[in-house]
Amino acid sequence: MKKAAIFDIDGTIIRNISSERVFFRYLINKKIITSKDLLRLANAFVNKLFCLKGVYVRKNKYHLKHKEYERIVSVIHECFREHVSPYISKTALQEINRLKDRGYLIILLSGTLSPFVECFKRSCNADIGIGTRLAIDTRGILTGEIDGIHAYSSGKAKIMNQLVAEYNIDLASSYAYANQYMDVKFMRMVGYPVAVNASPMLRLYAKINRWKIMEF
């Protein structure tokens, strides 16, 4: 069986910024999303909220609806290179390299968009990168929905189970690194959970359960 080291991205590998929030501002500054797109986003937000689907809010990608997928991927690469990659923690890279040298399968697991995760995967020399996939129609146009499991909160635990089956991972000898309490569900699955740049709730939980605490 393989041993793995699973890393969250926003707040863990990068600190004090969110890759998707940076990207959202980038799209506005580049005038790639318009007031019409923002109105569509707001309408979808309100409709789902009133339908008691508050969890859906983070899945709402309606500002990207009708955009060409390949164009958005190209802009993500630009945004990553110019505004996100400088925030990758050197300490995180050192930890990744240390574990990789010890034979661990390096997995990036994040709720951020999949093309962003692919950028991080290359920069961090990771083996596997899993993020939130955007749904695309037959013409290569974004629908505003996501495709598959949302890699967020309990969704990460579901994805972890899939990874275990696909890559024959021994969770008992594996590591998980994350910064938010909402990641506890997937962190508890491994033998060595590590709270990184931890939120107050995660820090308290980690101390109570004697988890390792690190700062990246």
DSSP assignment letter at 54: G
Question: Quick one: pLDDT band at residue 59, thresholds 50, 70, 90?
Answer: low
Cβ atoms of 27 and 97 closer than 8 Å: no
DSSP-based three-state secondary structure for 177 = strand
Cβ atoms of 23 and 116 closer than 8 Å: yes
Average pLDDT (183-204) is 97
Q: What does the pLDDT look like over 65-115, one tens digit per residue? A: 899 999 999 999 999 999 999 999 999 999 999 999 999 999 999 999 999
Q: Which two tokens stand for residue 33?
A: 């999303």
The candidate with the shortest Cα–Cα distance to 6, out of 147, 140, 187, is: 187
Domains annotated on the chain, with CATH: 4-214 (3.40.50.1000)
The candidate with the shortest Cα–Cα distance to 109, out of 26, 174, 22, 21, is: 174
The candidate with the shortest Cα–Cα distance to 13, out of 108, 95, 88, 116, is: 88
Q: Any alpha helices (H) in 102-149, and if so which ranges?
A: 114-124
Cβ atoms of 22 and 29 closer than 8 Å: no
Look at residue 56 in the predicted model and tell me its pLDDT. 43
Look at residue 61 in the predicted model and tell me its pLDDT. 82
CA distance 23 to 20: 5
- Phi and psi at 63, nearest 5°, equal -70, -15
Look at residue 38 in the predicted model and tell me its pLDDT. 72
Cβ burial, residue 109 (10 Å; 0-12/13-18/19+): buried
Q: Over the chain, what is the mean pLDDT?
A: 91
Look at residue 54 in the predicted model and tell me its pLDDT. 43
**pTM for the complete prediction?**
0.90
Q: Which two tokens stand for residue 50?
A: 């009133």
Give the residues across from 130 on adjacent strands.
109
